[in-house]
Amino acid sequence: LARAPQAMVLLGDTPYIDDGTVEGRRRRFRAFYEFPPVRAVLQAVPTWATWDDHDYATNDAFGKAKGGETARQVFCEYHAHPVYGDGARGIYTSFRRGPIEVFLLDTRSFADTETSVLAEGQRSLLGRTQIEWLQRGLLASSAAFKVLACGMVWNPGVRPNKADCWGNWLPERDALLRWIYQR
């Protein structure tokens, strides 16, 4: 707070929630947000959030993971975003602060539930709806800087056999980066 931040972004696992019940999730969010240092920042700084594996389901989980079916409801209850995903699925969102527009990606909800629209015949991490939302947003943005942020690591530089990093969806990641470069 002494540095007067203009915004804060939580990239998931805030907090770790490995209890897939609605009440268990609510209990963990309440405990986290009631912790005095966290509470002080949240009261003073506009905050946006996306989720990662532990606030979506369990460790390394994505797609149709057990526990994921209750995650979105509770996430929305504890985060004051103007929109969450497509309104029914996902929690991706964007916001602008001065010359920067931040696109918070959901790398959990859609993973391996369909094939990629960017990399034909390949696995999809983001899913068609989110990719189309992202492309529209990037094209419409007049911000000088655009930031893509998510809780998942963007490269394969992780522990051996880790199932949930962009390195396991390289065709889609690379196709997305090519699409951005071309525009």
pLDDT tens for each residue of 37-57: 999 999 999 999 999 999 898
Task: Assign 20 a pLDDT band (cuts: 50, 70, 90).
Answer: confident
Burial of 137 (0-12, 13-18, 19+ CB in 10 A): middle
**Could you write out the DSSP letters of every residue in 38-72?**
HHHHHHHS-EEE---HHHHSSTT--SS-TTHHHHH
Residue 127: which of 138, 116, 118, 136 has the closest Cα? 116
Residue 68: which of 94, 90, 93, 92 has the closest Cα? 90
User: Around 106, how many Cα atoms within 13 Å sit in the side-chain half-sphere?
Assistant: 29
Q: Which two tokens stand for residue 114?
A: 């369909």
Backbone angles phi, psi at 90, to 5 degrees: 80, 165
Q: State if pTM tops 0.85.
A: yes
pLDDT tens for each residue of 62-80: 999 887 888 999 999 999 8
Q: Which residues sit opposite 47 in a β-bridge?
A: 8
Contact status, residue 179 vs residue 131, Cβ threshold 8 Å: no
pLDDT tens for each residue of 77-121: 999 898 999 988 999 999 999 999 999 999 999 999 999 999 999
> At how many degrees (to 10) do helices 127-140 and 170-182 cross?
20
Task: Assign 130 a pLDDT band (cuts: 50, 70, 90).
Answer: very high
